[in-house]
Structure 1
């Protein structure tokens, strides 16, 4: 047997006998290190004649490559064995009770959870998020939205007014809806526009289903070809994804809003059997939102030509859809900061629903 074959056999045996990565590294150094046995053979090529190098060169280089391959394969095996041993030693006993501690007590508030859910869904539909101030001027909250001064429609909202400004006499308001954000967006951004506007709103009202502060999300699309069919499709896709049902029937009823024409209230199909509300089935209906085509006066008020562009908008109460989806009977505890209520209705961090339906995994 040649010197090269003998050396290869001994190195292969040493590699196979290595029982851990440290031993294997010692074999590598002894073979391929600066003064290793294979490296020493490679050094002899310089003193050989051309004819000898033609024979010995490929043989020695082949030895080096085969030894390196054997070392790599053995290292992978040793790493896998070490991992398996560690997993077997550190296996968790899933039958043990959960240890409650500060790191497990926190919960995501249902409002925050639902805002994250609807934001994820509308992001899948290509919508951006727009925000604005809670304290608004009369122009943004009313006038720009086709509520003329002294118009009876201004009485639709029980508004919180600030005292008149000492200089101008203007009375600021706590915004009664997030529609002022739509106005600001249309002023700052040229069409096409596709945004949702989630945020806090304020009205003088308080009972089981109303609070002085609550949350709304409104959507706005402005484009040259936007139409009611597009609006209907967007709302259907949202309801299917949010309520996690494969199909949902919707009913559009004529209504009135100063800022849209035509306007509609939207009901979705549901079942109320057993005291539970289930969507996508049954013979009953439940109102969840209002919508319509943006009134031409609103477009003119923000400098958009209604002869060139049109659009649609909708709005719904975030607190209301949270109550419907997660079975919460009273709106007031949402804002009472009761840790017991939040521990029951709050959420651990979860993946968010998508247009595919349900929570992603």
Structure 2
């Protein structure tokens, strides 16, 4: 299968690209190479004969149409997005432009290509989204595919809008699509502004490890390589016009997650004191959702997929990767906003 992957130089996108190439697919990686992208993420497959890269912004419809015509993909996996909640608080415009307008352009380019190719039934537009579109949960309950949308941040609102656009293009124009909403990802190549790498890198540097509020917020953590496997599985086996929630089945409080990472670092890179002594509580994020948790029944029962990595296993793999790849993360630490508290302008 020839797959056009948007955002393939990003965190989740690059995991999809690497795994797709490994499994024998042909991949066209479309990426604008904005601040969070890094071609080093796909360096291991860059010379592969089944890999091609297109330096294209999804907000450029004409350029997208050229890419579709040049490469004639069998499917699209649309991952390109602005995704950092704190950045969306400070500058929501970029999120509307990329996540909403960019998705509109992708749908229009894909639709034109699909219609021009005779509307093949096997074509799929796979839109990758987030569980944050559902808003926040209380102490009980789980997100299902039928949970009403109730986004609380500019980021999640922009992703909710993009989800609705995809569904509308399916209903109105017949464009074959599948849609997935995932829980929080973590793993190798995670951009250094997100929680798990912030904890690892601040600990290694002996800097305070910031925890928003009391650290009681709960997330369902999904190892990025498991997520890539799920996405390729849905692309191949998902029912057209259906959405699937992808969860890690690893619900944990932020404070407990941070302590787990510190404990692994204590073992693998011992310091003069416990890394947990660096934990520092800071002012909470505006509109911070309390809890996310996914009910994975549909993807498990209909498609036979479930995660293969426990949180403990995944965190250990992640910490080991950061310890062994210092040159990768050091090169990114000077990028705009990295290491600076964002999301305080509300």
TM-score, normalised by the number of residues in structure 1: 0.21
TM-score normalized with structure 2 length = 0.22
Larger radius of gyration: 1
